[in-house]
Structure 1
Amino acid sequence: MNTARHRTALLTAAGTALVLSLTACQSGTGTRSEPNAGATVAATVAAASPVADAQKADGAGAGGSGSSGSVSSPGKGPAGGAGVSGSTGSAGKQATASTPACTSGDLSVTAAKQDGPPYTHIVLTARNTSRHSCRLLGFPHIQFLESHKQDVPAVAKSKPASPVVLTAGAPAYAAVKLSDGGVDEDNEPVSAFSVTLENDDTVISVAAPGSDGIAVDPAKALTGYWTPELRNGADDF
Protein backbone atom coordinates (compact mmCIF):
# COMPACT_ATOMS: atom_id res chain seq x y z
CA MET A 1 0.00 0.00 0.00
CA ASN A 2 2.73 2.45 0.93
CA THR A 3 4.55 1.58 -2.30
CA ALA A 4 1.42 2.22 -4.42
CA ARG A 5 0.79 5.55 -2.74
CA HIS A 6 4.39 6.61 -3.33
CA ARG A 7 4.13 5.79 -7.05
CA THR A 8 0.87 7.75 -7.29
CA ALA A 9 2.45 10.81 -5.65
CA LEU A 10 5.42 10.64 -8.01
CA LEU A 11 3.16 10.40 -11.10
CA THR A 12 1.02 13.28 -9.83
CA ALA A 13 4.08 15.47 -9.27
CA ALA A 14 5.46 14.64 -12.71
CA GLY A 15 2.14 15.43 -14.39
CA THR A 16 1.93 18.78 -12.59
CA ALA A 17 5.46 19.66 -13.67
CA LEU A 18 4.63 18.74 -17.30
CA VAL A 19 1.49 20.94 -17.26
CA LEU A 20 3.42 23.91 -15.81
CA SER A 21 6.15 23.46 -18.42
CA LEU A 22 3.66 23.45 -21.30
CA THR A 23 1.85 26.47 -19.83
CA ALA A 24 5.12 28.39 -19.58
CA CYS A 25 5.98 27.61 -23.24
CA GLN A 26 2.62 28.82 -24.47
CA SER A 27 2.71 32.04 -22.41
CA GLY A 28 6.29 32.91 -23.39
CA THR A 29 7.52 32.97 -19.78
CA GLY A 30 9.74 29.93 -20.23
CA THR A 31 13.27 29.72 -21.44
CA ARG A 32 12.09 29.05 -25.05
CA SER A 33 9.04 30.57 -26.78
CA GLU A 34 7.72 29.59 -30.18
CA PRO A 35 6.59 32.33 -32.66
CA ASN A 36 2.89 33.13 -32.70
CA ALA A 37 1.40 31.42 -35.76
CA GLY A 38 -1.37 34.01 -36.17
CA ALA A 39 1.09 36.91 -36.13
CA THR A 40 3.28 35.16 -38.70
CA VAL A 41 0.36 34.73 -41.14
CA ALA A 42 -0.73 38.36 -40.67
CA ALA A 43 2.78 39.63 -41.38
CA THR A 44 3.03 37.48 -44.51
CA VAL A 45 -0.30 38.82 -45.88
CA ALA A 46 0.68 42.41 -45.12
CA ALA A 47 4.03 42.00 -46.87
CA ALA A 48 2.31 40.69 -50.02
CA SER A 49 -0.35 43.40 -50.00
CA PRO A 50 -0.17 46.26 -52.62
CA VAL A 51 -1.51 48.63 -49.95
CA ALA A 52 1.42 47.72 -47.72
CA ASP A 53 3.81 48.33 -50.61
CA ALA A 54 2.24 51.76 -51.24
CA GLN A 55 2.49 52.63 -47.56
CA LYS A 56 6.15 51.63 -47.60
CA ALA A 57 6.68 53.80 -50.69
CA ASP A 58 4.96 56.74 -49.00
CA GLY A 59 7.12 56.29 -45.95
CA ALA A 60 10.26 56.16 -48.08
CA GLY A 61 9.22 59.27 -49.97
CA ALA A 62 8.46 61.17 -46.80
CA GLY A 63 11.74 60.18 -45.24
CA GLY A 64 13.91 60.56 -48.35
CA SER A 65 12.66 63.60 -50.27
CA GLY A 66 10.25 65.31 -47.92
CA SER A 67 7.58 65.33 -50.65
CA SER A 68 4.86 62.98 -51.83
CA GLY A 69 5.10 64.36 -55.37
CA SER A 70 7.07 61.32 -56.46
CA VAL A 71 3.96 59.17 -56.19
CA SER A 72 1.49 61.69 -57.62
CA SER A 73 -0.52 60.85 -60.73
CA PRO A 74 1.20 61.70 -64.04
CA GLY A 75 0.09 65.02 -65.45
CA LYS A 76 -1.43 66.32 -62.22
CA GLY A 77 1.51 67.32 -60.05
CA PRO A 78 4.83 69.08 -60.54
CA ALA A 79 6.39 65.78 -61.56
CA GLY A 80 3.60 64.94 -64.03
CA GLY A 81 3.57 65.25 -67.78
CA ALA A 82 1.42 68.39 -67.78
CA GLY A 83 3.86 70.19 -65.54
CA VAL A 84 6.80 69.36 -67.79
CA SER A 85 4.83 70.32 -70.87
CA GLY A 86 3.78 73.60 -69.29
CA SER A 87 7.40 74.48 -68.50
CA THR A 88 8.41 73.74 -72.07
CA GLY A 89 5.56 75.83 -73.42
CA SER A 90 6.50 78.74 -71.18
CA ALA A 91 10.11 78.57 -72.33
CA GLY A 92 8.93 78.52 -75.94
CA LYS A 93 6.88 81.68 -75.41
CA GLN A 94 9.85 83.45 -73.84
CA ALA A 95 12.04 82.46 -76.77
CA THR A 96 9.41 83.73 -79.21
CA ALA A 97 9.07 87.05 -77.38
CA SER A 98 12.83 87.56 -77.48
CA THR A 99 13.06 86.77 -81.21
CA PRO A 100 13.47 90.00 -83.23
CA ALA A 101 10.88 91.03 -85.79
CA CYS A 102 11.76 90.36 -89.41
CA THR A 103 12.85 93.38 -91.43
CA SER A 104 13.07 93.87 -95.17
CA GLY A 105 16.79 93.10 -94.94
CA ASP A 106 16.03 89.65 -93.50
CA LEU A 107 13.66 88.52 -96.26
CA SER A 108 13.28 87.93 -99.95
CA VAL A 109 9.68 88.27 -101.18
CA THR A 110 8.47 86.64 -104.40
CA ALA A 111 5.08 86.09 -106.04
CA ALA A 112 3.70 83.07 -107.90
CA LYS A 113 0.34 82.11 -109.36
CA GLN A 114 -1.66 79.86 -107.08
CA ASP A 115 -1.46 76.26 -108.25
CA GLY A 116 -5.09 75.36 -108.83
CA PRO A 117 -8.43 77.12 -108.34
CA PRO A 118 -9.32 79.76 -107.55
CA TYR A 119 -7.20 81.22 -110.35
CA THR A 120 -7.92 84.70 -109.09
CA HIS A 121 -5.22 84.34 -106.40
CA ILE A 122 -1.46 84.56 -106.19
CA VAL A 123 0.83 83.46 -103.37
CA LEU A 124 3.50 85.63 -101.79
CA THR A 125 6.49 83.83 -100.30
CA ALA A 126 8.69 85.57 -97.74
CA ARG A 127 11.88 83.59 -97.11
CA ASN A 128 14.27 84.31 -94.28
CA THR A 129 17.63 84.91 -95.98
CA SER A 130 19.40 85.97 -92.79
CA ARG A 131 21.43 83.76 -90.45
CA HIS A 132 19.12 84.23 -87.48
CA SER A 133 15.49 83.57 -86.59
CA CYS A 134 12.94 86.36 -86.79
CA ARG A 135 9.21 86.89 -86.25
CA LEU A 136 7.14 87.78 -89.30
CA LEU A 137 4.37 90.06 -88.07
CA GLY A 138 0.85 90.53 -89.36
CA PHE A 139 0.22 90.57 -93.10
CA PRO A 140 1.91 92.03 -96.20
CA HIS A 141 1.00 95.65 -96.88
CA ILE A 142 0.44 95.63 -100.63
CA GLN A 143 -0.10 98.41 -103.15
CA PHE A 144 -0.69 97.19 -106.69
CA LEU A 145 -1.12 100.48 -108.53
CA GLU A 146 0.26 103.99 -108.27
CA SER A 147 -3.28 105.27 -108.68
CA HIS A 148 -4.42 103.39 -105.55
CA LYS A 149 -2.24 104.34 -102.60
CA GLN A 150 -4.26 102.51 -99.95
CA ASP A 151 -3.07 99.10 -98.82
CA VAL A 152 -4.96 95.98 -99.88
CA PRO A 153 -7.28 95.00 -96.98
CA ALA A 154 -6.42 91.93 -94.93
CA VAL A 155 -8.79 89.04 -94.19
CA ALA A 156 -9.00 88.46 -90.43
CA LYS A 157 -10.03 84.81 -90.87
CA SER A 158 -6.58 83.96 -92.21
CA LYS A 159 -4.71 85.17 -89.12
CA PRO A 160 -2.65 82.31 -87.59
CA ALA A 161 -3.20 81.33 -83.97
CA SER A 162 0.46 81.73 -82.98
CA PRO A 163 3.34 84.02 -84.01
CA VAL A 164 5.14 83.13 -87.23
CA VAL A 165 8.79 82.55 -86.35
CA LEU A 166 11.10 81.92 -89.29
CA THR A 167 14.37 80.14 -88.74
CA ALA A 168 17.20 80.84 -91.17
CA GLY A 169 16.07 79.78 -94.65
CA ALA A 170 12.45 79.11 -93.66
CA PRO A 171 9.52 80.49 -95.70
CA ALA A 172 6.13 82.00 -94.86
CA TYR A 173 3.21 82.50 -97.21
CA ALA A 174 0.33 84.85 -97.84
CA ALA A 175 -2.51 84.22 -100.29
CA VAL A 176 -3.60 87.33 -102.21
CA LYS A 177 -6.85 87.77 -104.09
CA LEU A 178 -6.61 89.81 -107.31
CA SER A 179 -10.22 89.96 -108.46
CA ASP A 180 -13.51 88.06 -108.55
CA GLY A 181 -12.61 86.61 -111.95
CA GLY A 182 -15.47 88.30 -113.84
CA VAL A 183 -15.03 89.48 -117.45
CA ASP A 184 -16.81 92.74 -116.72
CA GLU A 185 -14.57 93.72 -113.81
CA ASP A 186 -12.50 96.86 -113.86
CA ASN A 187 -9.18 95.03 -113.99
CA GLU A 188 -5.84 96.71 -114.59
CA PRO A 189 -2.58 95.08 -115.68
CA VAL A 190 0.19 94.90 -113.10
CA SER A 191 3.77 93.84 -113.86
CA ALA A 192 5.23 94.74 -110.45
CA PHE A 193 3.91 95.93 -107.10
CA SER A 194 5.14 97.05 -103.71
CA VAL A 195 5.11 95.23 -100.39
CA THR A 196 6.02 96.59 -96.98
CA LEU A 197 6.19 94.77 -93.66
CA GLU A 198 4.09 95.64 -90.64
CA ASN A 199 7.06 96.94 -88.67
CA ASP A 200 9.23 98.21 -91.56
CA ASP A 201 8.33 100.96 -94.04
CA THR A 202 11.02 99.93 -96.52
CA VAL A 203 9.37 99.25 -99.88
CA ILE A 204 10.03 95.81 -101.35
CA SER A 205 9.46 95.65 -105.10
CA VAL A 206 7.92 92.35 -106.19
CA ALA A 207 7.69 91.20 -109.80
CA ALA A 208 4.27 89.93 -110.82
CA PRO A 209 4.24 86.28 -111.93
CA GLY A 210 3.81 85.35 -115.61
CA SER A 211 5.16 86.93 -118.75
CA ASP A 212 2.07 89.11 -119.10
CA GLY A 213 1.85 90.04 -115.43
CA ILE A 214 -1.46 89.91 -113.55
CA ALA A 215 -4.85 91.59 -113.82
CA VAL A 216 -6.00 93.29 -110.63
CA ASP A 217 -9.31 94.83 -109.62
CA PRO A 218 -8.28 97.23 -106.83
CA ALA A 219 -11.83 97.25 -105.46
CA LYS A 220 -11.84 93.45 -104.98
CA ALA A 221 -8.24 92.77 -103.97
CA LEU A 222 -7.61 91.18 -100.55
CA THR A 223 -4.63 89.67 -98.75
CA GLY A 224 -4.23 86.97 -96.16
CA TYR A 225 -1.93 87.03 -93.15
CA TRP A 226 1.53 85.53 -93.23
CA THR A 227 1.31 81.84 -92.30
CA PRO A 228 3.98 79.15 -91.96
CA GLU A 229 2.06 76.79 -94.24
CA LEU A 230 0.97 77.22 -97.86
CA ARG A 231 -2.80 77.73 -97.84
CA ASN A 232 -5.41 77.84 -100.56
CA GLY A 233 -6.97 81.26 -100.95
CA ALA A 234 -10.42 79.70 -101.25
CA ASP A 235 -10.09 78.52 -97.65
CA ASP A 236 -10.13 82.07 -96.32
CA PHE A 237 -11.63 84.39 -98.98
Structure 2
Amino acid sequence: MNTASHRSALLALAGTALALSLTACQSGTGTQTSGAASPEATVASAPVAATSAADKTAADGTGTSGTTGTTGGAAGTTGTTGTTGTAGAKASASTPVCAAGDVRITAALQDGPPYTHLVLTVKNTTRHSCRLTGFPRIQFLESHKQDVPAVAKSKPATPVVLAAGAPAYALVKLSDGGVDEDNEPVSAFQVVLEGDSTVITVSAPGTDGIAVDPAKALTGYWTYELRNGADDF
Protein backbone atom coordinates (compact mmCIF):
# COMPACT_ATOMS: atom_id res chain seq x y z
CA MET A 1 0.00 0.00 0.00
CA ASN A 2 2.81 2.31 0.96
CA THR A 3 4.75 1.15 -2.07
CA ALA A 4 1.84 1.96 -4.36
CA SER A 5 1.41 5.34 -2.82
CA HIS A 6 5.11 6.06 -3.19
CA ARG A 7 4.95 5.05 -6.85
CA SER A 8 1.94 7.22 -7.43
CA ALA A 9 3.75 10.11 -5.88
CA LEU A 10 6.75 9.52 -8.11
CA LEU A 11 4.51 9.39 -11.17
CA ALA A 12 2.87 12.62 -10.11
CA LEU A 13 6.26 14.26 -9.63
CA ALA A 14 7.39 13.00 -13.04
CA GLY A 15 4.24 14.41 -14.63
CA THR A 16 4.79 17.73 -12.97
CA ALA A 17 8.40 17.84 -14.16
CA LEU A 18 7.32 17.00 -17.68
CA ALA A 19 4.74 19.73 -17.59
CA LEU A 20 7.33 22.22 -16.34
CA SER A 21 9.72 21.14 -19.10
CA LEU A 22 7.10 21.64 -21.78
CA THR A 23 6.21 25.02 -20.40
CA ALA A 24 9.86 26.04 -20.45
CA CYS A 25 10.20 24.92 -24.07
CA GLN A 26 7.17 26.88 -25.12
CA SER A 27 8.54 29.96 -23.39
CA GLY A 28 11.85 29.61 -25.27
CA THR A 29 10.10 29.26 -28.59
CA GLY A 30 8.21 32.48 -27.93
CA THR A 31 11.47 34.31 -27.30
CA GLN A 32 12.88 33.12 -30.62
CA THR A 33 9.71 34.16 -32.40
CA SER A 34 10.04 37.63 -30.92
CA GLY A 35 13.67 37.63 -31.95
CA ALA A 36 12.74 36.52 -35.46
CA ALA A 37 10.15 39.23 -35.57
CA SER A 38 12.84 41.91 -35.28
CA PRO A 39 14.20 41.32 -38.79
CA GLU A 40 10.66 41.19 -40.07
CA ALA A 41 9.99 44.51 -38.40
CA THR A 42 13.12 45.92 -39.99
CA VAL A 43 12.08 44.64 -43.38
CA ALA A 44 8.59 45.94 -42.84
CA SER A 45 9.99 49.35 -41.88
CA ALA A 46 11.89 49.54 -45.14
CA PRO A 47 8.75 49.93 -47.29
CA VAL A 48 7.55 52.56 -44.84
CA ALA A 49 10.84 54.44 -45.26
CA ALA A 50 10.62 53.96 -49.01
CA THR A 51 7.09 55.27 -48.99
CA SER A 52 8.19 58.28 -46.99
CA ALA A 53 11.02 58.90 -49.42
CA ALA A 54 8.61 58.52 -52.33
CA ASP A 55 6.21 60.90 -50.67
CA LYS A 56 9.06 63.33 -50.06
CA THR A 57 10.16 63.02 -53.68
CA ALA A 58 6.59 63.56 -54.84
CA ALA A 59 6.29 66.54 -52.53
CA ASP A 60 9.61 67.88 -53.73
CA GLY A 61 8.52 67.29 -57.30
CA THR A 62 5.29 69.13 -56.70
CA GLY A 63 7.20 71.93 -55.05
CA THR A 64 9.60 72.07 -57.96
CA SER A 65 6.76 72.08 -60.45
CA GLY A 66 5.07 74.85 -58.54
CA THR A 67 8.28 76.86 -58.43
CA THR A 68 8.89 76.26 -62.10
CA GLY A 69 5.37 77.28 -62.91
CA THR A 70 5.68 80.45 -60.84
CA THR A 71 9.06 81.27 -62.31
CA GLY A 72 7.80 80.56 -65.79
CA GLY A 73 4.80 82.78 -65.23
CA ALA A 74 6.96 85.58 -63.90
CA ALA A 75 9.40 85.20 -66.78
CA GLY A 76 6.55 85.13 -69.26
CA THR A 77 5.08 88.30 -67.84
CA THR A 78 8.45 90.00 -67.77
CA GLY A 79 9.22 88.74 -71.26
CA THR A 80 5.94 90.05 -72.58
CA THR A 81 6.47 93.40 -70.98
CA GLY A 82 10.09 93.52 -72.12
CA THR A 83 9.14 92.46 -75.61
CA THR A 84 6.52 95.09 -75.87
CA GLY A 85 8.85 97.75 -74.53
CA THR A 86 11.70 96.48 -76.61
CA ALA A 87 9.55 96.21 -79.69
CA GLY A 88 8.44 99.82 -79.25
CA ALA A 89 11.95 101.06 -78.75
CA LYS A 90 13.16 99.17 -81.79
CA ALA A 91 10.35 100.52 -83.96
CA SER A 92 11.17 104.09 -82.95
CA ALA A 93 14.93 103.62 -83.20
CA SER A 94 14.67 101.80 -86.52
CA THR A 95 12.82 104.69 -88.17
CA PRO A 96 15.56 106.84 -89.70
CA VAL A 97 15.61 110.59 -89.29
CA CYS A 98 14.49 112.35 -92.45
CA ALA A 99 17.48 113.58 -94.41
CA ALA A 100 17.57 116.29 -97.07
CA GLY A 101 17.61 113.68 -99.83
CA ASP A 102 14.45 112.05 -98.43
CA VAL A 103 12.13 115.05 -98.69
CA ARG A 104 10.97 117.95 -100.79
CA ILE A 105 10.15 121.28 -99.10
CA THR A 106 7.88 123.92 -100.62
CA ALA A 107 6.59 127.24 -99.30
CA ALA A 108 3.23 128.98 -99.76
CA LEU A 109 1.65 132.05 -98.26
CA GLN A 110 -0.88 131.25 -95.58
CA ASP A 111 -4.36 131.31 -97.04
CA GLY A 112 -6.22 134.17 -95.36
CA PRO A 113 -5.30 136.82 -92.82
CA PRO A 114 -2.90 137.46 -91.40
CA TYR A 115 -0.89 137.58 -94.60
CA THR A 116 2.37 137.65 -92.73
CA HIS A 117 2.91 133.87 -92.51
CA LEU A 118 4.31 131.13 -94.67
CA VAL A 119 3.34 127.49 -94.58
CA LEU A 120 6.26 125.12 -95.18
CA THR A 121 5.29 121.71 -96.49
CA VAL A 122 7.74 118.83 -96.26
CA LYS A 123 6.91 115.65 -98.19
CA ASN A 124 8.57 112.27 -97.87
CA THR A 125 9.68 111.32 -101.39
CA THR A 126 11.12 107.92 -100.48
CA ARG A 127 9.52 104.49 -100.25
CA HIS A 128 10.17 104.15 -96.54
CA SER A 129 9.10 106.01 -93.40
CA CYS A 130 11.33 108.65 -91.87
CA ARG A 131 11.17 110.71 -88.70
CA LEU A 132 11.07 114.50 -88.49
CA THR A 133 12.51 115.96 -85.32
CA GLY A 134 12.23 119.47 -84.00
CA PHE A 135 11.58 122.41 -86.31
CA PRO A 136 12.99 123.70 -89.59
CA ARG A 137 16.24 125.61 -89.19
CA ILE A 138 15.56 128.65 -91.35
CA GLN A 139 17.86 131.43 -92.48
CA PHE A 140 16.14 134.03 -94.66
CA LEU A 141 19.02 136.43 -95.31
CA GLU A 142 22.74 136.15 -95.84
CA SER A 143 23.17 139.09 -93.50
CA HIS A 144 21.43 137.16 -90.67
CA LYS A 145 23.15 133.83 -90.08
CA GLN A 146 21.21 132.91 -86.94
CA ASP A 147 18.30 130.50 -87.25
CA VAL A 148 14.76 131.81 -86.98
CA PRO A 149 13.59 131.17 -83.37
CA ALA A 150 11.03 128.42 -82.74
CA VAL A 151 7.76 128.80 -80.83
CA ALA A 152 7.69 126.24 -78.01
CA LYS A 153 3.90 125.90 -77.81
CA SER A 154 3.78 124.57 -81.37
CA LYS A 155 5.84 121.49 -80.48
CA PRO A 156 3.75 118.32 -81.02
CA ALA A 157 3.32 115.80 -78.22
CA THR A 158 4.89 112.96 -80.22
CA PRO A 159 7.55 112.85 -82.94
CA VAL A 160 6.38 113.23 -86.51
CA VAL A 161 6.91 110.05 -88.53
CA LEU A 162 6.29 110.44 -92.25
CA ALA A 163 5.14 107.42 -94.20
CA ALA A 164 6.20 107.22 -97.84
CA GLY A 165 4.60 110.13 -99.69
CA ALA A 166 3.15 111.71 -96.54
CA PRO A 167 3.46 115.45 -95.73
CA ALA A 168 4.04 117.52 -92.60
CA TYR A 169 3.81 121.26 -92.04
CA ALA A 170 5.41 124.16 -90.21
CA LEU A 171 3.98 127.67 -89.87
CA VAL A 172 6.49 130.52 -90.27
CA LYS A 173 5.94 134.13 -89.29
CA LEU A 174 7.62 136.66 -91.61
CA SER A 175 6.81 139.97 -89.93
CA ASP A 176 4.19 141.87 -87.95
CA GLY A 177 2.81 143.39 -91.15
CA GLY A 178 3.57 146.99 -90.19
CA VAL A 179 4.54 149.52 -92.86
CA ASP A 180 7.34 150.87 -90.71
CA GLU A 181 9.08 147.55 -90.22
CA ASP A 182 12.56 146.83 -91.49
CA ASN A 183 11.41 144.35 -94.07
CA GLU A 184 13.75 142.92 -96.66
CA PRO A 185 12.79 141.15 -99.88
CA VAL A 186 13.54 137.42 -100.03
CA SER A 187 13.21 135.33 -103.17
CA ALA A 188 14.75 132.16 -101.74
CA PHE A 189 15.88 131.00 -98.30
CA GLN A 190 17.69 128.14 -96.61
CA VAL A 191 16.25 125.31 -94.54
CA VAL A 192 18.19 122.67 -92.62
CA LEU A 193 16.57 119.62 -91.04
CA GLU A 194 17.56 118.48 -87.58
CA GLY A 195 19.88 115.51 -87.86
CA ASP A 196 21.24 116.52 -91.29
CA SER A 197 23.48 119.50 -91.98
CA THR A 198 22.63 119.61 -95.69
CA VAL A 199 21.28 123.01 -96.75
CA ILE A 200 17.99 122.92 -98.67
CA THR A 201 17.19 125.97 -100.80
CA VAL A 202 13.49 126.80 -100.86
CA SER A 203 11.97 129.24 -103.36
CA ALA A 204 9.77 131.93 -101.89
CA PRO A 205 6.20 132.06 -103.22
CA GLY A 206 5.03 134.77 -105.59
CA THR A 207 6.80 136.54 -108.42
CA ASP A 208 8.06 139.28 -106.16
CA GLY A 209 9.11 137.01 -103.32
CA ILE A 210 8.31 137.76 -99.68
CA ALA A 211 9.07 140.57 -97.24
CA VAL A 212 10.82 139.45 -94.07
CA ASP A 213 11.64 141.30 -90.88
CA PRO A 214 14.46 139.22 -89.33
CA ALA A 215 13.70 140.67 -85.90
CA LYS A 216 10.08 139.46 -86.00
CA ALA A 217 10.46 136.12 -87.79
CA LEU A 218 9.38 132.95 -85.94
CA THR A 219 8.85 129.31 -86.89
CA GLY A 220 6.70 126.53 -85.58
CA TYR A 221 7.66 122.88 -85.16
CA TRP A 222 6.97 120.25 -87.78
CA THR A 223 3.49 118.82 -87.25
CA TYR A 224 1.02 116.61 -89.10
CA GLU A 225 -1.41 119.49 -89.46
CA LEU A 226 -1.62 123.10 -88.44
CA ARG A 227 -3.53 123.48 -85.17
CA ASN A 228 -5.51 126.46 -84.00
CA GLY A 229 -3.97 127.91 -80.88
CA ALA A 230 -0.71 125.97 -80.96
CA ASP A 231 0.24 127.53 -84.30
CA ASP A 232 -1.13 131.01 -83.72
CA PHE A 233 1.84 133.31 -83.25
The residue correspondences of 1:105-124 to structure 2 (distance < 5 A) are 105-124=101-120
Residue of structure 2 in register with 1:150 after alignment:
146
1:215 to 211, 214, 221: 211
User: Aligned-pair distance for 1:89?
Assistant: 8.3
CA distance 1:176–1:89, shift in 2 (3 Å): farther
Supply the AA of the counterpart residue of 1:95: A
Alignment equivalent of 1:204, drawn from 166, 189, 200: 200
Give the match for residue 133 of structure 1.
129
Alpha-carbon displacement from aligned partner over 1:160-216 (angstroms, at most 9, x marks no partner): 000100010000100000001111100000000000011111110000011111000
8 Å Cα contact 1:175-1:232 kept in structure 2: no
Is 1:230 the counterpart of 2:231? The answer is no
Bigger Cα displacement from structure 2, 103-112 vs 226-235? 226-235
Q: Say yes or no: does 1:98 pair with 2:94.
A: yes
- Count of aligned positions: 162
Gaps of 5+ in 1: 1-65, 68-77, 79-83
Change (3 A) 1:199 1:95: same
Q: Mapping of 1:170-181 within 5 angstroms? A: 170-181=166-177
**Aligned positions of 1:32-71 closer than 5 A:** none
**Range with greater deviation from structure 2 (109-118 or 215-224):** 109-118
Give 3-state SS (helix, strand or coil) of 1:112's partner.
strand
Q: Once superposed, which parts of structure 1, at least 4 consecutive aligned residues long, lie more than 6 Å away?
A: 87-90
Provide closer, same or farther for how the CA distance between residues 183 and 234 of structure 1 changes in structure 2, counting only shifts above 3 A: farther
Residues 100-156 of structure 1, C-alpha deviations (whole Å, 9 max, x = no match): 100000000000011122211000001000111010111000000011111100111
Deviation at 1:94, TM superposition (A): 3.6
Equivalent residue runs for 1:4-23 within 5 Å: none
Contact 2:171 2:231 in 1 (8 A): no
Deviation at 1:93, TM superposition (A): 5.0
Q: 1:211 to 1:232 in 2, by over 3 A?
A: farther
Question: Which residue of 2 is the match for residue 17 of structure 1?
Answer: none
Please tell me whether the aligned partners of residues 138 and 148 of structure 2 are also in contact (alpha carbons under 8 angstroms): yes
RMSD, aligned CA? 2.8
Q: Specify whether residues 186 and 92 from structure 1 end up closer, same or farther in structure 2 by C-alpha distance, changes over 3 A only.
A: same
Alignment correspondent of 1:165: 161
The alignment status of 1:187 with 2:183, answered yes or no, reads yes
Identical counterparts, % of pairs: 79
Runs of at least 5 residues in structure 2 that lack an aligned partner in the other structure: 1-68, 71-76
In structure 1, C-alpha distance between the alignment counterparts of 2:197 and 2:156, rounded to whole Å: 23
Are the equivalent residues in 2 in contact too, given 1:143–1:152 (CA < 8 A)?
yes
Task: Supply the distance in 1 between the matched residues of 2:102 and 2:141 (Cα, whole angstroms).
Answer: 25
The residue matched to 2:197 in structure 1 has which SS? strand
Which is higher, the Rg of structure 1 or of structure 2? 2
